[in-house]
């Protein structure tokens, strides 16, 4: 970086650079650390980035919290025996902002390598330049891929019990899935619905034992094993599902008013530059510092390739990524390739 650019960056000014089109320049803002995604991993990364006196921006197209916004009650986050997901999200966001991180409600379209730093482009045509990036984009709910699923989205098909459960008071609903999210969703839905029918592709649930116990203690919940939802139908709203017994291969139409899908997440990797290594499921592979093969590009949270996905894992990832992003920036500064801007002047 040249001396003038360093000076402008230190003052936090808007910089311009050639866009490659004759006579046109693009304005962009500069920061030290840009965090893509504001779930638990991103908010933790933002907290520790700002705490290290880096000028830190945390971005998300949705409200801060990520999947926390979809969890009714959390009872396994250390130090908080019972906390609503949205409440924990708000506390995490407030904590990060209290140290000087800034939240930007933008949708990042692409992270581009612009050595020694990066260019962040948003779908709103904004542009940022930074010295290090932590991508915490997590995943999106997997779809069943059956007829009627897209047609009835928002009219009985949902991927969030905490968002839509209250609309099904006194009704019968179906839950597709066998893991923790499905179990948590079923237990929450039982507080509203008259009947909750859980459909598991496997002969047993994979949810934590304590969640399975709560389901077993809830008379409104019935679990159907080796059963696959093959079609969703109705009129203006969902009225029935077609379910296949995977043993007998027989189909049965079951009346329901809602279908809640909890069959996993697809990693959101579209923002990455080319050449990022992923595992067989598409999750990003990193070294022990949460850094990808691209120096200065880190990942944290559910997008990261590891065997356990949990809020505490996400927070740990965010911490590690932020600490080593700071080390990366210090190394660039020592080589006169980047000048740390630091927090905004109060």
Helices (H) and strands (E) in the chain, counts: 7, 18
Q: Please state the CATH superfamily assignment of the domain spanning residues 3-140+265-334 in this structure.
A: FAD/NAD(P)-binding domain (3.50.50.60)
Q: How confident is the model at residue 26 (pLDDT cuts 50, 70, 90)?
A: low
Distant-in-sequence, close-in-space partners of 328: CB < 8 Å, separation ≥ 6: 131, 132, 291, 295, 296
- pTM over cut 0.85: no
pLDDT tier at 21, thresholds 50, 70, 90: very low
Q: What is the mean pLDDT of residues 270-299?
A: 94
| Residue 114 appears among annotated catalytic residues | no
pLDDT of residue 48: 98
Q: Which of 76, 163, 251, 287 is catalytic?
A: 163
CA pair distance 99, 51, nearest whole angstrom:
6
Q: Which of 141, 122, 119, 145 is nearest to 132 (CA)?
A: 119
- Residue 170: is it exposed, middle or buried by C-beta count within 10 angstroms (0-12/13-18/19+)? exposed
Question: Does the structure show a pLDDT above 50 at 13?
Answer: no
- Choice among 6-15, 36-45, 302-311 with the minimum mean pLDDT: 6-15
Question: In the predicted model, what is the mean pLDDT of residues 196-208?
Answer: 97
> pLDDT (tens digit, 9 = 90+) per residue, 66-117?
888 878 788 889 999 889 989 999 999 999 999 999 999 999 999 999 999 9
**For residue 215, what pLDDT is reported?**
97
The domain locations on the chain are 3-140+265-334, 157-261
Alpha-carbon gap, residue 258 to 246, rounded angstroms: 22
- For residue 102, the model assigns a pLDDT of 96
CB crowding 149-169: b at 16 or more within 10 Å, else e: beebeeebbbbbbbebbeebe
Of 49-63, 141-155, 298-312, minimum mean pLDDT range: 298-312
Among the listed ranges 8-22, 88-102, 199-213, 279-293, which one has the minimum average pLDDT value?
8-22
Per-residue pLDDT at 27 exceeds 90: no
308 or 328, which is more confident: 328
Alpha helices, DSSP H only, in the chain?
3-11, 40-51, 85-98, 161-164, 180-189, 209-216, 311-334
Rounded Cα distance, 45 and 55, in Å: 12
Start-to-end CA span in the chain (Å): 25
Query: What are residue 74's phi and psi, to 5 degrees?
Result: -115, 130
Tokens read off for 137: 């984009």
What does the DSSP assignment read for 225-290?
A: SSEEEEEEEESSSEEEEEEEETTT--EEEEE-SEEEE-S-EEE--TTSPTT--B-TTSPBP--TTS
CA angle 155, 159, 161 (to 5 degrees): 90
Active-site residue, 150 included? no
Higher pLDDT pick, 19 / 344: 344
Query: Where is 130: in which H helix or E strand?
Result: strand 127-135
Is the pLDDT score of 30 beyond 90? yes
- Catalogue the long-range contacts made by 341-346 (C-beta closer than 8 Å, 24 or more residues apart): 341/9, 341/10, 341/12, 341/30, 341/31, 341/32, 341/54, 341/55, 342/10, 342/32, 342/53, 342/54, 342/55, 343/50, 343/53, 343/54, 343/55, 343/100, 344/12, 344/55, 344/100, 344/102, 345/12
Confidence of residue 346 (pLDDT cuts 50, 70, 90): low
**Looking at residue 22, what is its pLDDT?**
31
Residue with tokens 């197209």, as numbered in its chain: 61
pLDDT score, position 20:
32
- CA–CA separation, 332 vs 106, rounded Å? 27
Token pair of 62 as six digits: 């949705």
What average pLDDT does range 214-242 have in this prediction?
Answer: 97
pLDDT at residue 244 tops 80: yes
C-alpha separations of 223 from 203, 218, 340 in Å: 10, 11, 55
Q: Of these residues, 164, 302, 315, 317, which one is catalytic? A: 164
Mean pLDDT of 12-16: 42
pLDDT at 6 over 80: no
CA–CA distance, 58 with 272 (Å, rounded to integer): 16
Nearest one of 68, 41, 46, 40 to 58, comparing CA atoms = 46
Active site residue 164: yes
Across 37-46, 137-146, 238-247, least confident range? 137-146
Cis peptide before 116 (omega within 30 of 0): yes
CATH class for the region spanning 157-261: alpha beta
């Amino acid at each position: 970086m040249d001396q003038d650019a360093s000076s402008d960056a230190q003052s936090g000014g808007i910089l311009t650079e050639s866009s490659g089109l004759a006579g046109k320049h693009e304005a962009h803002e500069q920061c030290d650390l840009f965090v893509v995604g504001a779930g638990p991993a991103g908010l933790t990364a933002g907290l520790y980035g700002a705490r290290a006196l880096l000028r830190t921006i945390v971005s998300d197209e949705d409200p801060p919290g990520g999947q926390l916004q979809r969890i009714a009650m959390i009872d396994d986050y250390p130090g908080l025996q019972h906390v609503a997901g949205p409440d924990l999200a708000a506390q995490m966001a407030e904590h990060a902002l209290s140290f000087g991180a800034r939240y930007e409600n933008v949708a990042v379209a692409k992270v581009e390598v612009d050595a020694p730093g990066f260019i962040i482009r948003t779908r709103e045509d904004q542009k940022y330049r930074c010295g290090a990036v932590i991508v915490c984009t997590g995943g999106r709910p997997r779809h069943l891929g059956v007829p009627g699923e897209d047609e009835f989205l928002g009219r009985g098909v949902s991927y969030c019990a905490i968002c839509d459960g209250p609309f099904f008071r006194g009704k019968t609903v179906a839950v597709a899935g066998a893991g923790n999210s499905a179990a948590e969703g079923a237990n929450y839905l039982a507080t509203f619905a008259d009947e909750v029918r859980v459909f598991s592709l496997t002969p047993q649930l994979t949810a934590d034992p304590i969640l399975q116990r709560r389901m077993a203690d809830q008379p409104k919940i019935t679990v159907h094993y080796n059963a696959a939802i093959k079609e969703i139908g109705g009129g203006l709203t969902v009225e029935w599902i077609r379910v296949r017994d995977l043993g007998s291969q027989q189909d049965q139409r079951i009346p329901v008013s809602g279908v809640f899908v909890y069959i996993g997440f697809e990693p959101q990797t579209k923002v990455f530059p080319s050449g990022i290594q992923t595992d067989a499921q598409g999750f990003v592979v990193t070294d022990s510092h949460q850094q990808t093969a691209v120096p200065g590009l880190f990942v944290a949270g559910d997008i990261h390739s590891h065997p356990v996905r949990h809020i505490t894992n996400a927070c740990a990832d965010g911490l590690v990524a932020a600490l080593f992003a700071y080390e990366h920036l210090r190394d660039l500064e020592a080589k006169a390739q980047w000048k740390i801007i630091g927090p905004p002047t109060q």
